[in-house]
Structure 1
């Protein structure tokens, strides 16, 4: 039998979004911005990316109380050329800056075929796939880059220098599922280690090294060490690419100087890079979507290797999880719910209730 603190309870997605929204407003976030942030966090929960969902609220609120994240800031957008814009995040929530940036990128792409936005002085924006989905909902293809605090050594090194910054992209389809890629350059996202620590679980021994450079299955020791890049030098090179496009280009922190979200000493100064592309630039939209549907069918219908029951398209497992959780609710441990309710009590909003 599992410990009471680790027993799973399912929360209605709508109730969870309202709960998160109220906590944010109680901490000085405007209702408009709170709507954006709470929706993004719950979208991560729905897709099964629990490491980047509502469980992040305690760490975000701690940064607000430590005054290293400005809950009331309004990002500032500057148009550079007809197809290029920049956003100064003003140390607001990364969700707000990135949502504004993708909105502008989509608008430029609708008018000119492509839109590019560079974002500086931002913060963690959770799961990258929500930005890809924002573009897909507008009928757009997209590229989404960000940098992050040091967690990964460069290939051949042993100290933290690069972030485990995700690379994400996507494209709409016709009747089949859209293409959504959202992956970290490490073997596993660092958020999965925080999740294992929170739940008292072990991690696979190929995810990270401890502070002495040894493989470990202990999430606490892993957080003292470094993440391991996927594909050796290839994962390392991807993490450097994220820093070039997100940090160097934007004017934000880079080369290991992005502040860890759990470090209360100073603002994070994260950079992002977003591109939206109109998919019917070279053919009709009908032809494009038909070709995307054909690609999906070819991928999932491929001949399977031994032991494989089903082939999934990138992003498909998360979309299936979303469909399931919309009906069944989002799973949380009792300990996770208690941590969220502690934040509710701080600002006097109604607690999450579980049976």
Structure 2
């Protein structure tokens, strides 16, 4: 099914209003999810909407949170999200980081007591709009086994870095620290497809291509897949995200992070509050004139785009380019939704007495 951005945005906005979100929070939450769908990151867009609603029904998401700063210095802060949607908690924290950067050159904010915050790129790009370099990362439900283990200890723990360019669009590095994001497994499940070897292992630690393996005790693998191919590096990156997002803020970390799926209860022995995020902003002009930086980054991008390739039919892909191409296409041609997602969304419409898709 193909839907327009306007149609899907209004539908999503209405769902968030129906659970009690304020007009501003409903609009912002819908914007975060739609940005994901528009950029072709289908795993983190409206496909997640039913998951948020199930958590709300379980009382694990507060639709009217009192988001507040609980500790700060001139350049740092810790924010308590009051169990709110990460879709609104993270932008609040990034606003704090940017305000501190405006005054002091950089700002760094850790967040506790939050929930899934959508795509990291949304929050990092907020800083780019003010000629700042943006950072955004979050820990997540434990689905990933560290190198040499078959126990789920870490989330997919994404990190994003966003840089303002001049004649080119911003350069955005937005990635999971696991071999693949869990959302890609969900897409494979809905499509009845297998996944590549090296993404996931079964309960005994053997490679499998079954996207349902997590349901039978399997686990995702760190970026690199195994020790011989650098999984210790993915493990290290994921650990960094977990520590900055949660150990630093007072959120749950490692295997204590509450699951995103509502049918699994949070651990009974929490070590913190909710899930954690870490966001940052640095003023480019704290280092050099903004235009000089943008000119040099444009030159960097141009040179890498012109790099010789092994196959003449291929080209070097600059981080963020595929998402930009998807956004241009979907703005013109609409957003494709798989049948399983349409079914989920229409069930939500019935649940709240709203018009379906």
| TM-score interval for Structure 1 and Structure 2 normalised by the shorter chain | over 0.9
Residue 228 of structure 1: aligned partner: 221
Residue 322 of structure 1: aligned partner: 327
The answer to whether the aligner puts 1:42 opposite 2:34 as a matched pair is yes
Residue 259 of structure 2: aligned partner: 260
Return the alpha-carbon distance in structure 1 between the equivalents of residues 338 and 141 of structure 2. 27
* RMSD after superposition: 1.5
CA distance 1:148–1:95, shift in 2 (3 Å): same
Q: Secondary structure at the match of 2:12?
A: helix
Query: 1:307, CA displacement in angstroms?
Result: 5.3
Query: 1:171, CA displacement in angstroms?
Result: 0.7
Query: 1:138, CA displacement in angstroms?
Result: 2.2
Residue 107 of structure 1: aligned partner: 99
The answer to whether the aligner puts 1:331 opposite 2:344 as a matched pair is no
Return the alpha-carbon distance in structure 2 between the equivalents of residues 223 and 305 of structure 1. 40
**1:193 and 1:223 in contact (8 A); partners too:** no
Query: 1:323, CA displacement in angstroms?
Result: 0.9
Q: How does 1:1-355 map to 2 (within 5 A)?
A: 9-78=1-70, 80-224=72-216, 225-231=218-224, 232-264=231-263, 265-266=265-266, 269-306=274-311, 308-352=313-357
Q: Once the two structures are superposed, what CA deviation does each residue of 1:146-200 show, in whole Å capped at 9, x if it has no partner? A: 1111111111211111111001111101111211011111111111111211232
**1:161 and 1:256 in contact (8 A); partners too:** yes
**1:75 and 1:90 in contact (8 A); partners too:** yes
Q: Secondary structure at the match of 2:83?
A: coil
Return the alpha-carbon distance in structure 2 between the equivalents of residues 233 and 217 of structure 1. 22
**1:21 and 1:35 in contact (8 A); partners too:** yes
Query: 1:221, CA displacement in angstroms?
Result: 1.8
Return the alpha-carbon distance in structure 2 between the equivalents of residues 308 and 113 of structure 1. 43
Query: 1:308, CA displacement in angstroms?
Result: 4.9
Query: 1:77, CA displacement in angstroms?
Result: 2.4
Q: Once the two structures are superposed, what CA deviation does each residue of 1:203-240 show, in whole Å capped at 9, x if it has no partner? A: 11221012232222221124431111122111111111
Return the alpha-carbon distance in structure 1 between the equivalents of residues 306 and 259 of structure 2. 42
Runs (4+) of structure 1 exceeding 3 A deviation are none
Query: 1:74, CA displacement in angstroms?
Result: 2.7
Return the alpha-carbon distance in structure 2 between the equivalents of residues 331 and 131 of structure 1. 24
Query: 1:263, CA displacement in angstroms?
Result: 4.0
Q: Once the two structures are superposed, what CA deviation does each residue of 1:20-69 show, in whole Å capped at 9, x if it has no partner? A: 00011111111111111100001000111100000101111011111111
After TM superposition, the score normalised by the length of structure 2 is 0.93
* Structure 2 unaligned residues grouped into runs of 5+: 225-230, 268-272
Return the alpha-carbon distance in structure 2 between the equivalents of residues 91 and 206 of structure 1. 34
**1:139 and 1:278 in contact (8 A); partners too:** yes
Q: Once the two structures are superposed, what CA deviation does each residue of 1:106-150 show, in whole Å capped at 9, x if it has no partner? A: 111122110111110110101111111211122210111211111
Return the alpha-carbon distance in structure 2 between the equivalents of residues 336 and 239 of structure 1. 29
**1:41 and 1:53 in contact (8 A); partners too:** yes
**2:163 and 2:170 in contact (8 A); partners too:** yes
Return the alpha-carbon distance in structure 1 between the equivalents of residues 55 and 207 of structure 2. 31
How many residue pairs are counted as aligned between the two chains?
344
Return the alpha-carbon distance in structure 2 between the equivalents of residues 127 and 260 of structure 1. 17
Return the alpha-carbon distance in structure 1 between the equivalents of residues 266 and 151 of structure 2. 21
Q: Secondary structure at the match of 2:284?
A: coil
Return the alpha-carbon distance in structure 2 between the equivalents of residues 13 and 74 of structure 1. 30
